[in-house]
Structure 1
Amino acid sequence: MSTPIDISEEAGVRYLHFGSEWVQGAMRIRKPNALELAYTREMMAGLLLRDGLSEDAGEWPRRVLLIGLGAASLTRFIHHHLPQSRIQVVEIAPSVVAAARQFFRLPQEDARFSIHIGDGAQYVLEKNTRYDYILVDGFDRNARAGVLDTLPFYQAVRARLTDQGLMSVNLFGRSRGYKASLERILTAFDDRAIAFPSCDSGNVVAFGAAGDSLRRPIAELRERASLLKAATGLDLLPTVTRLEQAGSLPGGTLVL
C-alpha cells in the first residue's frame, strides 16, 4: 500500500503529512538546514554526548544511519553541518523520497549520501556495516512504528554500533506505551539508555549507548550545547535544562 502524501504550509513553514493531521516533518522555507521541530533537535543531542565538537576534532559521527526520511530534516542538517559524516538513509516508501526531493530540498545523492528504498528493520538485520550514530524515526500514517519498536530490532541496532556508537529514537505516538518502549531499549542496551523528558509536542526521544562509557556533568553539557549552537545554530540548552529539572541526571551527571 502506497503512503498518502499531503503538503501544507503555514507562517513560512512547510509540513509533511501522511494522509492525516499528524505532522511527519517540517521545514522553515527560509532556513532549510535548521531543525524546525523540537524532537528532531533532540534527536541530534548525541552531539553533546560524543566528542566531535572541538575545533581540531570534528570526527564524530563518521557514519550515520537514518531510518525514516520524512521531510528530510535530519538528513539536511547532518549533510550541511557535519561534512565528515557519511549518511545512509533507509526509507520504505518511494513516495516519501519523491516528496522530499520535490518539496523539502533533499540533497543530491553523492559519495557521502545515499538512499536505500526498503524496510529499515530488515536493513539493520541484514547489513554488517557499523555506524557511529543510528537515528530511528519511522512511522506509518497512524503514527505506529511497528517492528521498529521491538526488542529484536533494538538488539540488532546495538550490534551495528561502533565503540563510539549511539542510537536515538523518536517514541512519538507511543505516549501510553512509551515506558514499555524504553524497557525494550534498556534491555537491548544493558541499561545504558535514557529517555529525555517529553518535549512540547509530546515526543519522547530516547538514547542507547554502545561501546565506550559516557559521563557528562551538567556544566559540560551546557558548555557543549553553547559550542554546538555557535557552530550550527542548533540550540539544545533548553534540553539540558529539562534534563536537569526532571531529575534525569543523578548527581548532576549524565551517565550512559
Structure 2
Amino acid sequence: MSHPIDISEEAGIRYLHFGSLWIQGAMRIARPWHLELDYTREMMASLLMRDDSRFPRNVLLIGLGAASITKFLYRNFPLSKLTVVEIEPRVVAAARQFFKLPDDPKRLNIVIADGAKFIAGNDKNYDLIMVDGFDEDARPGELDTLPFYQMCRARLNDNGILAVNLLGRSRGYAASLGRLREAFEARALAFPSCESGNVIALAATGEPVRIELDDLKEHAERLKAETGLNLLPTLARIEEAQTCPGGVFLL
C-alpha cells in the first residue's frame, strides 16, 4: 500500500483513511465496542442465519480496517476463536494504537497476509467467514472473483455462512452477486444496505436456511438484548428486498 494511513476525528468519532477522504473504518471514542458504521451492523445479519448457541465458534475475517467487526465478535461471543487476515501491517498497527484492537493471541489470531492467498493455502474450516477487504481505491481485487468465492465455500463448515461487503459502486453489484451465486449453487442473496452505498451479501452451505420472519425477529431481539445491536431495521429491509414467500426467509 503506497498511500498513507490517516486518522481523523469529528464529533467524538475516530476515522481510518487510506490517503483519501474515503472512510475505511470508524469508532465512537466513548463506545469503542459499538458498531458505528451502518454496513458493519448489517454484516451481522449473518449471525441470525443459524439458531445455534454454538454459532459461530470459528470465524475468519478478511480485512481488518478499524477492527469494528473483530471487536464486536470478540466482546460478545467469548467462546468464538477469531482469525483476522490483513494484508497491510500498518493497518494492524493503527488498529492497535487508535482503535483498541485487543491483544489476546489465544482467541484472536492476527495474520499479515493476502486474504485470497491465505484462504487458498489454508485447510482449516470456519463457521463464519466475513469479507471486508478493499485497497485505497475501494477495489476488492481478488476478493471479488469466482475462484475466491469457491475457496470460501470450501473453507466453510457444514451449515457455514459467508458475509461479504460488496460496496455497491457505480457499476452496481450484479456481477459480484452472480459470482457468489455460481460459487454457492444459487444459495446467495444481497440486499441494499445503507446510504454509504455498501451492499451486503450472504451465502450459505449445508442445511437450507429456512426461518419464519417472526422467528428471525425474535432472534434479533435476543441479540439486541445481549449485545445492544439492533438488527430489526435490517430485517425490515430484507423483508422489503426479498420475496420471503409466506413470511419465510430462505437462503
TM score, norm. by length of structure 2: 0.97
Contact 2:51/2:219 (<8 A) preserved: no
Q: Distance in 2 between matches of 1:173 and 1:3?
A: 23
Aligned ranges 1:67-106 → 2 under 5 Å: 67-106=62-101
More displaced 10-residue stretch of structure 1: 104-113 or 63-72: 104-113
CA root-mean-square deviation: 1.2
Contact 2:169/2:197 (<8 A) preserved: no
Percent identical residues: 61
1:184 aligns with 2:216: no
Tell me the equivalent position of 1:25. Answer: 25
Q: Distance in 1 between matches of 2:197 and 2:120?
A: 30
The one-letter code sitting in structure 1 at the alignment partner of 2:23 is V
CA deviations over 1:225-251 (Å, ceiling 9, x no partner):
111100000110000011112244233
Q: Distance in 2 between matches of 1:139 and 1:99?
A: 16
Tell me the equivalent position of 1:6. Answer: 6
1:229 aligns with 2:224: yes
Q: Distance in 2 between matches of 1:200 and 1:225?
A: 22
- Unmatched runs of 5 consecutive residues or more in structure 1: none
Kindly tell me the number of residue pairs found equivalent between the two proteins: 251
Q: Distance in 2 between matches of 1:69 and 1:241?
A: 28
1:213 pairs with 208, 213, 218, which one? 208
2:237 pairs with 230, 238, 242, which one? 242
Q: How much does 1:164 deviate?
A: 2.1
More displaced 10-residue stretch of structure 1: 233-242 or 193-202: 193-202
Aligned with 1:46: secondary structure? Answer: helix
Q: How much does 1:201 deviate?
A: 1.5
Contact 1:151/1:188 (<8 A) preserved: yes
Change over 3 Å in CA distance of 1:3–1:65 after alignment to 2: farther
Aligned with 1:211: secondary structure? Answer: coil
Q: Distance in 2 between matches of 1:25 and 1:248?
A: 32
Q: How much does 1:78 deviate?
A: 0.5
Give the ranges of 4+ consecutive aligned residues of structure 1 lying more than 6 Å apart after TM superposition: none
Change over 3 Å in CA distance of 1:97–1:75 after alignment to 2: same
Q: Distance in 2 between matches of 1:251 and 1:163?
A: 27
The one-letter code sitting in structure 2 at the alignment partner of 1:159 is A
Aligned ranges 1:52-67 → 2 under 5 Å: 52=52, 57=53, 59-67=54-62
Q: Distance in 2 between matches of 1:21 and 1:61?
A: 34
CA deviations over 1:195-224 (Å, ceiling 9, x no partner):
022322111000010112110111111111
Tell me the equivalent position of 1:16. Answer: 16
More displaced 10-residue stretch of structure 1: 170-179 or 123-132: 170-179
The one-letter code sitting in structure 2 at the alignment partner of 1:37 is L
Q: Distance in 2 between matches of 1:245 and 1:152?
A: 31
Q: Distance in 2 between matches of 1:121 and 1:168?
A: 15
The one-letter code sitting in structure 2 at the alignment partner of 1:18 is F
Q: Distance in 2 between matches of 1:16 and 1:173?
A: 20
Q: Distance in 1 between matches of 2:242 and 2:83?
A: 35
Aligned with 1:158: secondary structure? Answer: helix
Contact 2:42/2:193 (<8 A) preserved: no
